[in-house]
Structure 1
Amino acid sequence: MSSVIEKGTPAKAPAAGGREKVDLRTEDGNERRLYWAVADCWTVVRRGLLTYRRHPSFIVWQLGFPIVSVLLYGYVFGGAMKSPDGGDYKDFLMPGMFVMTMAFGLMATAMTVVTDSSKGVIDRFRSMPMAPSAVVTGRGVSDLLAATAELAILAATAVAMGWRADGGFVRTLSAFALLVLLRFALIWIGIFLGLLVPSPEAAGGLYAVVFPLTMISSIFAPPSTMPDWLGTIAAWNPISSTAAASRELFGNPVASDGSWIQENAILMAVIWPLVLTAVFAPIAIRRFQRLSR
């Protein structure tokens, strides 16, 4: 027996994936859209975290690289380096190593995104009834969690080597918060570059950009020891602001050369990541939405 539908009352058909169609122009529609954006984001985050369980080599690389870097620069090169204030070079080096690890995380994000894209994973995500921003935001959240784990292991290694944070609990926690904020901003750059380059092989060439970015900074030496023109570039490098701010908050400060950018390192360590996020987060999401199916 056929069912009877009253005239003017449209039948509601469930959307793909079991989701009920809702007029997104209504308040209820906006709430449901936000709910599914968060739910889909968490699904992508879970996928990213499960990757580490299924591929333990990723953990060895992402968590082992920071430890090897600290040991290499701290013990192999550290004996030939001197702290600008005449103290232990490890006190100067360790905050810079924290920043370098956050900066190189950009490459991990870009490589993961371009690998998913080349294998058709992103295309499969785009064919599903999910929030358009979920793939991008989910990638960002999962990488931020991994970066937090890297930072914790790196800090434990530094403490084992004799480094100490003498700035107090609140200031030390604030320093780690600035490091995570920098990583959050660089995640969006990594996502954008990962969606921009055509293959994992091409993404490997990004090291030629990231490596000089970390070298021309205050990670290993203060800008005041460099030639004037190079020191100015290094001082205004966003990475340098986070490095100088974290040293100050950790209680391992270095005498400033009196420039505005170094005198306001903590302020700029907040402003630079916010600016980078404001620029690259929208264009990363837009780039994903414009990918061809």
Structure 2
Amino acid sequence: MSSLVYDGTAMLGRQLRRARNNPGLLILTQTMPVTMLLFFGYVFGSALAMPGEEYRSFLVPGLLVATAANGIMTGMFQAAQDVHRGVTDRFRALPVSRAAVPLGQAVADAVVTAAGTVPLLLVGLAVGWRIEGSVPEALGALGLLLLFRFATTWTGIFLGLLTRNEEAAGQLGGATFLLPLLSNAYIPADGLPGWLRTAAEWNPVSAVATALRELFGNAPVPEGAAWPVAHPVAGSLAWCAVLLAVSMPLAARRYARGER
């Protein structure tokens, strides 16, 4: 256990230096959600039944979760890039814990995500979004958001180790943009057709977005929703637990074996 912590800390430092040496990617990942907030909030908001400011309050938690869901894409690309360029093989040759490398990547991604949420929150406050709940509830919302990002990053790491090619991982990772679109991140799901509403409400993004809206005090829980959305905090924790229980051991095992 001590070896995992020590080696994981070393890998965390390596991933943070990697992020620091790629400022273009950091700027893109931090400015894209802000751009989407301004676009969706002022363009789509006028086309929905919600008034503009009310829709922006609805949208900010959804964008936070949509950004967290991109952990699949970033985790997949970075893991596949390391495999494709031979970095993973060099790490396997070192006397380090096999689980430390993906763990360091996942923790570093959560740290970068925590820093990246600050600009989006500030712009959200500037356009009318407010935290209507208590401080502990707001902190709980941010903690849940980072937990979801951590879980999706582990899912991406496993998929990246499977693809083993950064180009293929980049193309496949682009498909993750469909997850927020098929959810209540941008629009309420209760206006969707029956089968589409069911699919959206069983999307993990919908549960976490609803949980954040509830904890921030921005919107009530929809009536008649599927269980993960009707009980959003419990549903979000359940989705995170499932993602971590499946992806963490599979990713660590795949990394350790180095299967081709």
* Fold in common (TM above 0.5): yes
1:153 aligned onto 2:90: no
* Matched residue, 1:134: 100
CA distance in 1, matches of 2:8, 2:205: 28
CA distance in 1, matches of 2:221, 2:29: 33
Displacement of 1:198 after TM fit? Answer: 3.0
Specify the code of the residue in structure 1 equivalent to 2:64.
Answer: F
For each residue in 1:110-158, what CA deviation from the matched residue of structure 2 results, as whole angstroms up to 9, or x when unmatched?
1111111111111110111111111111111111111111122221221
Displacement of 1:255 after TM fit? Answer: 5.4
Count of aligned positions: 259
Displacement of 1:105 after TM fit? Answer: 2.5
* Matched residue, 1:238: 204
1:97 aligned onto 2:31: no
Contact 2:158 2:254 in 1 (8 A): yes
Specify the code of the residue in structure 2 equivalent to 1:133.
Answer: A
1:41 aligned onto 2:17: no
Q: Where in structure 2 are the equivalents of 1:205-216 lying within 5 Å?
A: 205-216=171-182
* Matched residue, 1:54: 21
Contact 1:172 1:250 in 2 (8 A): yes
CA distance in 2, matches of 1:54, 1:178: 28
For each residue in 1:235-260, what CA deviation from the matched residue of structure 2 results, as whole angstroms up to 9, or x when unmatched?
11111011111111111114523235
Give the unaligned 5+ runs of structure 2: none
Specify the code of the residue in structure 1 equivalent to 2:164.
Answer: P
Contact 1:66 1:150 in 2 (8 A): no
Q: 1:127 to 1:93 in 2, by over 3 A?
A: same
Q: 1:292 to 1:212 in 2, by over 3 A?
A: closer
For each residue in 1:193-218, what CA deviation from the matched residue of structure 2 results, as whole angstroms up to 9, or x when unmatched?
11111312111222453122211111
1:184 aligned onto 2:150: yes
Secondary structure at 1:129 match in 2? coil
CA root-mean-square deviation = 1.8
Query: Which structure: greater helix fraction?
Result: 2
Displacement of 1:88 after TM fit? Answer: 1.5
Bigger drift between 267-276 and 66-75 goes to 66-75
Contact 2:74 2:153 in 1 (8 A): no
1:110 aligned onto 2:83: no
Secondary structure at 1:253 match in 2? coil
* Matched residue, 2:231: 264
Contact 1:95 1:246 in 2 (8 A): yes
Displacement of 1:292 after TM fit? Answer: 4.6
* Matched residue, 2:255: 288
Contact 2:106 2:154 in 1 (8 A): yes
**Which structure would you say has the larger Rg?**
1
Instruction: State TM-score, norm by structure 2.
Output: 0.93
Secondary structure at 1:128 match in 2? coil
* Matched residue, 1:253: 219
CA distance in 1, matches of 2:128, 2:34: 14
Contact 2:183 2:206 in 1 (8 A): yes
* Matched residue, 2:31: 64
* Matched residue, 2:245: 278
Contact 2:45 2:52 in 1 (8 A): no
CA distance in 2, matches of 1:284, 1:196: 9
Contact 1:82 1:88 in 2 (8 A): no
Specify the code of the residue in structure 2 equivalent to 1:270.
Answer: L
Specify the code of the residue in structure 1 equivalent to 2:235.
Answer: M
CA distance in 2, matches of 1:58, 1:268: 32
Q: 1:144 to 1:235 in 2, by over 3 A?
A: same
Specify the code of the residue in structure 1 equivalent to 2:41.
Answer: G
Give the unaligned 5+ runs of structure 1: 1-33
Displacement of 1:179 after TM fit? Answer: 0.9
Specify the code of the residue in structure 2 equivalent to 1:220.
Answer: Y
Q: 1:63 to 1:87 in 2, by over 3 A?
A: closer
CA distance in 2, matches of 1:113, 1:207: 12
* Matched residue, 1:144: 110
Percent identity for Structure 1 against Structure 2? 38
Contact 2:201 2:226 in 1 (8 A): no
* Matched residue, 1:14: none
Instruction: State TM-score, norm by structure 1.
Output: 0.83
